[in-house]
A and B are shown apart, each in its own frame.
Chain A
């Protein structure tokens, strides 16, 4: 049985700066990995490499056992991404955004798929609203809808809680919890220690481009995580 998502020795430099310095991990299908880390630790760069949007200088990624390199396009329907930017077109409505991305992902049942997806996320009554008129929280919900539209096996989320008020955060938490359907592999990058720990099966702390530790969440409570986190940030190994 192959891994849901596998990273092997990922390295990425920007000129003289080494942003990701040899990250490796294996996730079983259905596992959720939360990655914590200070700003500048290279978390976004790591996620972009996992999504195939950025080419690693060395190392590779495997999705559902198959190689996932930047040049090829055939594995991409297996992955969905949510960023702290919405990746949407503000002038277009929710429906138009989803239709555009749906076409990019080669989906031909959009007439039924889009209304279903919107309904499952409580967005049906706003389908015709231009995205730029939505609040930050709603935009993030649409962003998640976009990411899940093609029913990917792997979902990557880069600080999705950014800028969300408590209510919107709670809604997002619910949506993320429902992601874990037993076969979806998820990587979540967040600063929110509590939420990140709650949802995860495993927790990694990334500092200066490397995972300083990867721990099973079952063996950690929030207080222990905080200690671990601060130790890692103050003394990068």
Chain B
């Protein structure tokens, strides 16, 4: 078991190490977060609409769209010099490779999500009176569900002629539960509703994350093998 986790962590560590050499994905996602906030500011007429009313929706959509930018490149690194063959030839079980990638993506996207909350909080002068731990749990589980699906599909996208433009078409319909439960919970937490009202949301997001991480781990080998 320890050896297995060590393998997963080796993959995650390598992905993060590469990312911190170039900051490619973080920059793209981070800039996206800020710029989208700016554009939303210009596209919302505050005389007619209160940003606070739609903040949760805007935040979640930004995380998802921006996340696509970063997640699409998950296997790009391995494409460049054929490193994927090197990994596939090694003893690492394919589900461990998948989980390592998921964990790396989760860390990166969580960072981006945090930035989105701060940027939107700043730009739209949002106030938060709810329980921050619960908010973190909601967003964390939502991000995990998103990442588990997107990592699996980005492996497909890398190997297909349609490439990364295929990714949103495949993933968006499947993400509906994450958006529904995540955004409504965020809305309620921002409005200061009692935590018990988002208990169901938490459970559904957790179920989604668990189901698709397990399914992704099991199905990954069909997507990555030749």
Contacts and interface: CB of A to CB of B under 8 A. Distances in A.
Contact of B18 (A76, A85, A92): A92
A106 B88 CA distance: 14
Interface stretch (B50-58, B89-97, B152-160): B89-97
Chain B, interface SS category:
helix
B14 interface: yes
Interface in A52-80: 52-55, 70-71, 73-74, 76-77, 79
B89 A91 contact: no
A172 interface: no
Contacts of B80: 90
A163 to B, nearest CB: 13
B85 A83 contact: yes
A55 B225 contact: yes
A73 B6 CA distance: 16
A146 B91 contact: no
Contacts of B7: 103-104, 106
B92 A73 contact: yes
B108 to A, nearest CB: 15
* Contact-residue size bin, chain B (C-beta under 8 Å from the other chain): 20 to 34
Contacts of A146: 86
A68 B119 CA distance: 53
Interface in A73-125: 73-74, 76-77, 79, 81, 83, 85-92, 96, 100-101, 103-106
B14 A92 contact: yes
Among B10, B85, B90, B91, the most chain A Cβ lie within 10 Å of the Cβ of: B90
A217 to B, nearest CB: 27
A100 B82 CA distance: 15
Contacts of A81: 85-86, 89
A88 B91 contact: no
Contacts of A83: 82, 85
A38 B77 CA distance: 30
Contact of B81 (A53, A73, A79, A90): A90
A217 B17 CA distance: 46
A76 to B, nearest CB: 4
B180 to A, nearest CB: 38
B93 to A, nearest CB: 6
Contacts of A76: 89-91
B85 A87 contact: yes
A85 B7 CA distance: 24
A87 B86 contact: yes
Interface in B20-44: 21-22
A173 interface: no
B133 interface: no
A189 B181 CA distance: 55
A52 B92 CA distance: 12
B83 interface: yes
A138 interface: no
B87 interface: yes
B3 interface: yes
Contacts of A104: 7, 10, 87, 90-92
A91 B82 CA distance: 14
B22 A91 contact: yes
Interface in B86-134: 86-93
A73 B88 contact: no
B226 interface: yes
Interface of A: 48, 51-55, 70-71, 73-74, 76-77, 79, 81, 83, 85-92, 96, 100-101, 103-106, 130, 146
Interface of B: 3, 6-7, 10, 13-14, 17-18, 21-22, 77, 80-83, 85-93, 221, 225-226
9 contacts: A53-B88, A54-B226, A55-B226, A76-B89, A81-B86, A83-B82, A101-B86, A104-B7, A104-B92
